[in-house]
Amino acid sequence: MTVESVHPEAQPRAASDLREPPLAGGGVPLLGHGWKMVRDPLAFMSRLRDHGDVVRLKLGPKTVYAVTTPELTGALALSTDFEIAGPLWESLEGLLGKEGVATANGPRHRRQRRTMQPAFRLDAIPGYGPIMEEEAHAVTVRWQPGEIIDCTFESFRIAVRVAARCLLRGAYMDARAERLAAALDTLFRGMYRRMVIPLGPLYKLPVPANRAFNRALADFHLLVDEIVTERRASGQKPNDLLTALLEAKDENGDPIGEQEIHDQVVAILTAGAETVGSTIMWLLHVLAEHPEHAERVRAEVESVTGGRPVAFEDARRLRHTNNVVVEAMRLRPAIWILTRRAVSDTSLGGYRIPAGADIVYSPYAIQRDPKSYRDNLRFEPDRWLPERAKEVPKYAMSPFGVGNRKCPSDHFSMAMLTLITAALAGAYRFEQVPGSKDATRVGITLHPNKLLLRTLPRG
């Protein structure tokens, strides 16, 4: 998928021509629409399209503008009138910090992108191939026929090991994968509550939920410090992203600070664990709930490999497998909500947006919009065949973002997800077992609440 610039307003409008966005109904005193965002956020965000292209919300005392169309979300992401900020990023500040690539703006962000980009160039991705192959096949060996798999832990474990071995060149994550998975799950649920109901001082009270959140946050940052300390103590300088960070210079030619290094490693692990891990969980769910597509993946792998273990070089030929991955990300995006902030008085879609206003949009709602997709709620990988993909409006499917905030690891992640899906579908069939709860668990990211699958040998 490619992206180009869009101009939703061909001619600039005079300020007097701009409209005030409509206010969504259903707000309650004090909490505004925050209550709906806690009770059923996915349905609430999906219904906003019925009220207009841009809609005002109240989150506690704060007014927020929701954007509901693909065209305007593309314009929002590409416009210099908006920057990375708003309730999402404020809620994530305790985790991501202020100095990493995820939250930086302006010259700092451009310099950080230049530091990270070599690790994710197209010609660099094949160098990670052997590691991805090893990890994909290690899973099929580690899991045994008839075993019940806790997909939350195992998905995070796969994602963390690949990210650590490829980008941080460390096997030291083995013993820490479970800590990372537990910490991030607690953090991302707590941060979502802080975003939609911003009751700042109340989150400092020593109640059990706040204590658990603070413990998870402290453990996660300790884990990052351990990674950096161990690399420095080793004296090794492998050609990886962590070495690039440790040797990076700032705008004045001086080494970047310790806090920036810390925040950059946080960004790597958060993306590598939480977002990719959540996507692996949904792919395992797909293999269990759609055996016809699992069988098509297995048959495609057999056709391409002739029975040998699937290799990294096979990934580009596994077209249906790739389409299964894309369709899973369409229906179940790990990152389902994003925010921006207006840096000056501006407009969007003919509506007035004041300086300092926060804007929110939902890739989940955009990617399920019946105006963009026929049979919008149906799992249909063939909609991504070249002749059918042309029907999808621009920006109606942007799983890795657009513009200068596009995730630099998009090709890396797609190669990994395709290879893992191929290896698992080739080795096993999957079925849910009693106790499995595949309802969506909503935090800053989405993943199944508790997915338990039994591995069944291929007949």
pLDDT tens-digit series, residues 325-343: 999 999 999 999 998 999 9
pLDDT at 5: 34
Task: Give the pLDDT mean for 432-439.
Answer: 95
pLDDT tens-digit series, residues 207-237: 898 899 899 999 989 988 988 898 888 888 8
Q: 249 vs 222, 234, 244, 252, 348, CA distance in Å? A: 24, 21, 10, 7, 37
pLDDT at 189: 78
pLDDT grade for 360, boundaries at 50, 70 and 90: very high
pLDDT at 369: 97
- For all residues of the chain together, what is the average pLDDT? 87
Give CA–CA dist 125/114, Å, rounded.
17
pLDDT at 173: 62
* Entry pTM: 0.86
Torsion of Cα atoms, 183 then 185 then 191 then 196, to 10°: -170
175 has pLDDT over 70: no
Please check whether residue 403 is in contact with residue 78, taking contact to mean a CB–CB distance below 8 angstroms: yes
pLDDT at 10: 35
User: Considering the chain, what percentage of its residues have pLDDT values greater than 90?
Assistant: 49
Q: Which stretch of DSSP H or E encloses residue 150?
A: strand 148-150
- Alpha carbon 390 to its chain's center: 24
